Amino acid sequence: MTRAFVFPGQGSQAVGMGQALAEAFPLAREVFEEVDDALSQKLSALMFDGPLEELTLTQNAQPALMAVSMAVARVLDHAGIKVADTAIMVAGHSLGEYSALAAVGSLGLADTARLLRIRGEAMQKAVPVGEGAMAALLGLSLEDAQAVAKEAAQGDVCEAANDNAPGQVVISGSKTAIDRAIEIAKGKGCKRAMLLPVSAPFHCALMAPAAEVMAEALSKVTIRVPSVPLVANVRAARVTDPEEIRQLLVEQVTGSVRWREGVLHMAENGVTELVELGSGKVLAGLAKRIHKDLTARSIQGPADVEAFAKDV
């Protein structure tokens, strides 16, 4: 079994996330305390007890999801399951790319938490609430979804933001253009086109102000060579050079998350199992849809850790 570790993105947050880990493993508690200290906020209390509305705010969800992923990674490491020995690549969906970089030693935990807080706030502020939107187009290929977005733009921004799996593409842009795209898609054989409950239009040109903020923030942190290569969202290929990683993290704010292509890249270069570390099972669920020969599992709680430890 040749593995890649993958890290979830926004939407996988849930009240209670990480709590069982914290109760079972002192190392997990230490991760949550370090993130709390870095942000000068009791984020762990929000993760464990809610309310969901506050946890779902972009500036909270992003560091919270990273914290759970890193708690899992630290617990596995302490059990002798080190990323560098167990995986040949890592990848993360959107904010999960930061979790992946923290797990392979490119970014420090405190720096990662602060960067994600800045990223979440900057992405939220980039577009006034109500002026942007995102929609899922189910049943269309990436090329068809891109054609729908181009037709719908009509001078506004409308772009493919996430290529998640065959027949699952998310578009992002101006609310008026996204509304047009939903109607156009219905006439192009789209099985289902629906607005997503998000607070901003992520991964499109409207996020340019946030990209500027992240370029400044990333210029101030140390990025080290990862212990295993990162499959970058915007390139769908492996990178290891710290300065290249820094630039790609800036490009990622406005660029499309090429998740389907990234997973194919992993499968075509020897990966046979994806192991999702952190909250939820979204990425594990997409694996088989992307490549029929891939197996996948998610590690969220103590029982998952124990089961994985027996298999490695």
Q: Annotated active-site positions, please?
A: 94, 203
Q: Which residue has tokens 């998640």?
A: 164
Any residues with CB less than 8 A from the CB of 287 and at least 6 apart, and which?
A: 263, 274, 294, 295, 296
Any residues with CB less than 8 A from the CB of 291 and at least 6 apart, and which?
A: 263, 264, 267
Q: Write the secondary structure of the chain as one string of H (helix), E (strand) and C (coil).
A: CCEEEEECCCCCCCCCCCHHHHHHCHHHHHHHHHHHHHHCCCHHHHHHHCCHHHHHCHHHHHHHHHHHHHHHHHHHHHCCCCHHHHEEEEEECCCHHHHHHHHCCCCCHHHHHHHHHHHHHHHHHCCCCCCEEEEEEECCCHHHHHHHHHHHHCCCCEEEEEEEECCEEEEEEEHHHHHHHHHHHHCCCCCEEEECCCCCCCCCHHHHHHHHHHHHHHCCCCCCCCCCCEECCCCCCEECCHHHHHHHHHHHHHCCECHHHHHHHHHHCCCCEEEEECCCCHHHHHHHHHCCCCEEEEECCHHHHHHHHHHC
Tell me which residue of 121, 72, 62, 47 sits closest to 93, measured CA to CA.
62
Cα-Cα end-to-end distance for the chain: 9
